[in-house]
Structure 1
Amino acid sequence: MDKLRSKPMSSEVSITDDIDATLMFREVQQFRQPWIWVVLSCSSLAALYVAAIPFVLDSNSEDTLVVHIILILFGIIFGVIFPILFYTTKLITEIRSDGLYLSFYPLLFSRIKIPFENIVKAEVKTYHPLREYGGWGIRHSPTGKAYNVSGNRGVQLELANGERILIGSHSPEQLARAIAFSRGR
């Protein structure tokens, strides 16, 4: 049993590598919940307001120059870069003839590949993202890992080493069927 636990159940595949395996299922999810964008817009506007302060205040001392640079950087990072990162983030779930692939672009720089022989069970699950995993995104909790973007439904995988991975999905029944079909071949 220890040998089974030490064997990796998933591997990383470069984003730039072409995958020759046949695509059977693909789902792309993004953060598009209105409440997220209201919070993000308010915080972005506040950060941009803070970044504008150095242009309104007139001071020539070196101490305030450093503070002004910090405020401008804060505004650029939280007012521009962070919203763009949120907007471009995608959870891509693919079932191919050789395994299940997960990509959380641009947060993960490689795809995660889980071969079908490592999947013991895959079942549709309704879950509580905040209570069970602490929210959305790439989450680690005592109940396992979760890759989710929105909603409260997904497919719970149990791997041969006992690891549990939840994959959030807007079509969990289709995803579970694609996994079951591919595992049965």
Structure 2
Amino acid sequence: MTAEQHILFREKQHFTQVWLWAVILGVALLFWVGFVYQVLLGETFGNRPVPDVMLTIITIVIGIGLPYFFYHISLRTEVWPGELQVRFYPFHRRPVKIPLHLVRDFERKTYNPIQDYGGWGIRWGVKGKAYNMSGTEGVLLYFYNHPALLIGSQEPDALFEAIRAARSMKQV
């Protein structure tokens, strides 16, 4: 039996909010317009233009780097026998491993990301910690000695059932 056969659930999510991408690409576009106008066309951009070299560097960092960074952010959730793994790339170098024997209870949850946790990403709120990328559904884990943890998912039913099955299995 290979390691792949032991995975009960796997999901990889990315930021898909249209408004978020509109803001990111809008900011990037603003720097590209400034770059083209000032560096390529030779006109001054703004009341207090920065030197061309500085504008080029900023355009590369913001105009290319920012969209690239957000495109590569991902939330990977895996359920293994006896364990839940969550990795919020690039912020976690390795997956956060949650032994399911520490979970007192869990439930499928519909939530408001802004009100309950302050948005999307790795979030801390009055209701506990959350890992979420988009949407309003997930699985809420209750622990014996820790605050609750919400795992956002586009497939909350499948995640819930995988956790239910994994709790009764021995860790590999």
Distance 1:42 1:132 in 2: 28
Distance 2:53 2:161 in 1: 54
Correspondence for 1:22? 6
- From the superposition, tell whether residues 51 and 140 of structure 1 become closer, same or farther in structure 2 (CA, over 3 Å): farther
Correspondence for 1:161? 145
String of CA shifts for 1:59-117, please: whole Å, max 9, x gaps. Answer: 9xxxx8x7433322221121111101111111110001140000112232121000111
Structure 1 unaligned blocks of 5 or more: 1-18
* Matched residue count: 162
String of CA shifts for 1:5-32, please: whole Å, max 9, x gaps. Answer: xxxxxxxxxxxxxx78821110111112
Correspondence for 1:40? 24
Q: Secondary structure at the match of 1:110?
A: coil
TM-score using structure 2 length: 0.83
Structure 2 unaligned blocks of 5 or more: none
Identity of aligned residues (%): 36
Letter in 2 for 1:142: V
| 1:95 equivalent in alignment to 2:79 | yes
Correspondence for 1:104? 88
| 1:86 equivalent in alignment to 2:76 | no
1:49 to 33, 42, 66: 33
8 Å contact kept, 1:51–1:73: no
String of CA shifts for 1:31-74, please: whole Å, max 9, x gaps. Answer: 12322222222111012223443454489xxxx8x743332222
